[in-house]
Structure 1
Amino acid sequence: MDAFGEKGLELLYRFSKKLGLNTALTAWHSSRDRSAEFLTTMAMISATSAKIADEIRSLSRSETGEVEEPFQMGKIGSSTMPHKRNPEMCEQVVVLARLIRANAGLGFEGMINEHERDYRAVRLEWVTITDTSLFVCGLLSLAKGILKDLIVHEDRIRKNVDRAAVSISTEALMFRVGKKIGKQTAHRVIYETCMEAIETGQPLIDLLMNHDQISQKFKREDLEKAIDPMNHIGISQTLTQRVIDHVKGKLASVGSSSIEETRVCPLMDEDGVCMVGDGYAGS
């Protein structure tokens, strides 16, 4: 900057403004925290996306079957087992997130450098920042496609919840019973009958109705109502709507009304194709 004399700072300001960046207060070649912060932020974004993708992958198992990543005829899940519809896109998101997270660690390595121009740090970033940017771009594109056309099997969700209704409602059942026989007694009775139900395979409600302390004070309908999942939704709908409203607000702030209209990367063209990739043929 010495060659520009007093105009050096003005040049720095204009250069930063043109790129849409804040003006740096210290020299970039000696302070690498900017790069580490960028890589860490990318790692956090990718980890959140991977958490969502991995949840979808887990819930798409045959024994659960509640959701699936998008599918169209011709998509092959296995070269040997034609019936498979594997969550390939979700798996790719998780793999990319792990690579991005590994690069974040190298970002902190780059912060440790000697004096001012230690290119052991700078050259490390030639790889980490470049690869991370490409990985994040691909990850977000995959995540957007997964969420945009996610397949949800509501009937399977209800069946799974109904099947687990007793085990997820024993607390509510204990408090309902505890109003008449005391909480500690209710805990003991329900604990004992639950263990018996697990060992014998008998329905919990049947075992409870055979228990004198329960059958004398409760009707079967009272107990069945206590374990009905629909009675334990609580404020989940309110919490879900709060998240939706928050996301809509964020989308509105960048000029989009829905996820379909949002370009996940400023370097994508209107068709969502990366304009800096090899062989880009866009206009």
Structure 2
Amino acid sequence: MALNSPTRIYDPLFATPEIAAVFSGRGQVEQMLRFEWALAVALEEACVIPVGVSKAIEAVTVDTLDLDEIALGAVNAGNLAIPFISSLKSYVLEHSPSLVEYIHWGATSQDVLDTAKVLQARETIRLLQIDLDGISDELVVLVQKHALTLLPGRTWLQHGPPVTWGLKLAGWLDALQRHRVRLKEASARCIVLQFGGAVGTLAALGELGPPVTRRLAHALDLPEPSMPWHTHRDRFAELATTLGLLAGTLGKIGRDFSLLMQTEIAEVLEPAGENRGTSSTMPHKRNPVYSSILLATAVRVPGLVSTMLSAMVQEHERGLGGWQAEWETLDELFRLTAGSLRAARHVVSDCAVNEDLMRQHLAAIGGVALSEAVSFALARKIGRSPAHRLLAQVTRAALDHRLTLREALLKSTEVCNQLSVEEIDLALDPGRYLGSTSTFIANVIAAEERG
């Protein structure tokens, strides 16, 4: 079954090597072993079990256990914890037979599985934060470099007034700043210990439940929750929705970038490299491979988030079906989001920007996209509504007769009675119609500097 391998066939494309390892079979069992060791430490410190159990567990490694046997055992057991504990006990029985009965003392399967998932999530969030910091640093440099690099603004995929490439990048950065905050806040709420025993009362430990819990949390360096949360799944659901929001923003970046990379636009290009973006039959192709990852992830993630939300409705003290539905779903959310974020870093850090084409496209279809600028210049003379109607007529004339907007304006007596040639030219200067762009960019950069 190759459960020792951290890599599935599409992991190199949609995940990262680090995250694939965290959520591999090995990665999960490593964290389950860590839970059992920490539990033994806590129980020993509370004088519930004899000293030596934690050392016996510490001697066990993932390579000691048969992961395929554990996976197959789950078919009958309904979860991985039962065959895992059986395998762990078999090893300890062979080497320290007098200690085997104290393994997993007072805990239940969900305690080990949930806490292992929490530990996997904690490590993944740490890696996500590294990539979020990295892409943010790269965006700051590009935003400042391209603060005044003009290109058409586009609404409903049609040209609008000009924006700058730096402003578009600042929009991405602004959103990623919010995601960094969300991820930090979600981590603080959701990365907590799970330990409740059979029905969430720790009855098997008598009055020692709370002190053992504190020691267990300390051993794992996890916050101690107010109480066990076996069937209260808002923590995992919050992690899922937080990842979903991040994946959505990354998808928006992929959408923008791939549209600007179309052959007839080609204002930006993804990084070049040997065999990157090639076609099996068309030698000229330079496909937006990284953008496709961002977009595919944004398509897949909402369904996974929906599964996590649906799985919140669980029965009494142990879920039947909902809990089980979470296991691979949350893993996949972390895998996909991490892979998308890494792909976005590649897009941002090494993209090629064609400033000349951006500028040329401002003049497309006669530069009529600057009609708003002229309309507001006229509005100061004749009022907003009359100016809008007049510019609509002039713009249509320009398009019908294949004139530039400037030529059509100079042919209009009504316009020329109100605006001089100099005023018309000023209104048609795209660099003068950027509004508060500089302020918005400065706000985003300042927020990044504040951290």
TM-score computed with the length of structure 1 as normaliser: 0.80
Q: Which moved more, 1:209-218 or 1:228-237?
A: 209-218
Matches within 5 A, 1:20-99: 20-99=221-300
Q: Which residue of 1 aligns with 2:424?
A: 223
Alignment CA distance shift 1:241-1:21 (3 Å): farther
* 1: CA distance, partners of 2:350 / 2:304: 30
Q: Which moved more, 1:8-17 or 1:94-103?
A: 8-17
* 1: CA distance, partners of 2:366 / 2:409: 15
Shift of 1:47: 0.9
Q: Which moved more, 1:144-153 or 1:87-96?
A: 144-153
Matches within 5 A, 1:254-273: none
The unaligned stretches of length 5 or more in structure 2 are 1-201
1:189 aligns with 2:377: no
Q: Which residue of 2 aligns with 1:271?
A: none
Alignment CA distance shift 1:100-1:183 (3 Å): closer
Within the candidate set 244, 248, 255, 2:445 is matched to 244
1:198 aligns with 2:396: no
* 1: CA distance, partners of 2:431 / 2:361: 13
Alignment RMSD (CA, Å): 2.2
1:116 aligns with 2:309: no
SS at match of 1:104: helix
Alignment CA distance shift 1:13-1:146 (3 Å): farther
Q: Which residue of 2 aligns with 1:127?
A: 328
Q: Which residue of 2 aligns with 1:173?
A: 374
Task: Give yes or no for contact 1:42–1:132 (8 Å, CA) kept in 2.
Answer: yes
Q: Deviations over 1:146-189 (max 9, x none)?
A: 22212222222111123368433222212323444444443332
Q: Which amino acid aligns with 1:108?
A: L
Q: Which amino acid aligns with 1:236?
A: T
Within the candidate set 361, 364, 373, 1:163 is matched to 364
Q: Deviations over 1:83-135 (max 9, x none)?
A: 11110111012212322221110111111122111231111111111222222
Task: Give yes or no for contact 1:165–1:229 (8 Å, CA) kept in 2.
Answer: no
Q: Which moved more, 1:88-97 or 1:167-176?
A: 167-176
* 1: CA distance, partners of 2:359 / 2:430: 9
Q: Deviations over 1:181-227 (max 9, x none)?
A: 44444333222111111222122322322222333454323212211
Shift of 1:139: 1.7
Task: Give yes or no for contact 2:368–2:404 (8 Å, CA) kept in 1.
Answer: no
Q: Which amino acid aligns with 2:270?
A: E
TM-score computed with the length of structure 2 as normaliser: 0.52
Q: Which amino acid aligns with 1:129?
A: L
1:211 aligns with 2:412: yes
Task: Give yes or no for contact 1:165–1:227 (8 Å, CA) kept in 2.
Answer: no
Alignment CA distance shift 1:106-1:174 (3 Å): same
Within the candidate set 294, 303, 306, 1:102 is matched to 303
* 2: CA distance, partners of 1:198 / 1:185: 20
Q: Deviations over 1:3-44 (max 9, x none)?
A: 333332233234334445432234222111111111111111
Q: Which amino acid aligns with 2:299?
A: R
Alignment CA distance shift 1:14-1:63 (3 Å): farther
Alignment CA distance shift 1:221-1:118 (3 Å): same
The unaligned stretches of length 5 or more in structure 1 are 251-283
* 2: CA distance, partners of 1:198 / 1:165: 8
Alignment CA distance shift 1:37-1:192 (3 Å): same
* 1: CA distance, partners of 2:386 / 2:248: 45
Specify which structure has the higher proportion of helix: 2
1:9 aligns with 2:210: yes
Alignment CA distance shift 1:208-1:141 (3 Å): closer
Alignment CA distance shift 1:209-1:81 (3 Å): same
